[in-house]
Amino acid sequence: MREALDDLTDNLGVFSNIEALRTLYGADQVALLRRFVDEGCGLAWLLQQVSDARYAYSVVHDGSNSAYSSCSELTFVHELGHNLGCQHDRANASVPGRFSYSYGFQDPDEAFRTVMAYDCAGGCPRIHYFSNPDLTYQGKPVGISENDPNYSANNAMTINATRVAMAGYRAAVTPTIQVLSPNGTESWIRDNTYPITWTMSNLSSNVTIELYQGGILKTTLASNIPDTGAFSWSIPLQLPLGANYSIKIKGDAAGVTIFDDSDNYFAVAPRAHSKAAPWIDLLLLDR
Catalytic site residue 79? yes
Distances (CA, A) of 98 to 6, 46, 73, 89, 209: 21, 8, 24, 13, 49
Q: What is the DSSP string of 215-282?
A: TEEEEEEEEEEE--SEEEEE--TTSPPEEEEEEEEEEEETTEEEEEE-SS-EEEEPPPPPPPPPP---
User: b/e per residue, 127-165, with b = 16+ CB within 10 A?
Assistant: bebbbbbeeebeeebbbbebeeeeebbbbbbbbebbeeb
Catalytic residue among 3, 73, 79, 186: 79
98 vs 118: CA distance, rounded Å: 18
Question: If we measure between CA atoms, which residue out of 147, 31, 155, 54 comes closest to residue 97?
Answer: 155
CB 251 within 8 A of CB 257: yes
Q: Which of 142, 59, 51 is nearest to 105 (CA)?
A: 142
- Answer yes or no: are the C-beta atoms of 252 and 211 closer than 8 Å: no
Q: At what angle do helices 155-166 and 75-83 cross, to 10 degrees?
A: 70
The H or E element containing residue 61 is strand 57-61
Which sequence positions are flagged as catalytic? Answer: 79
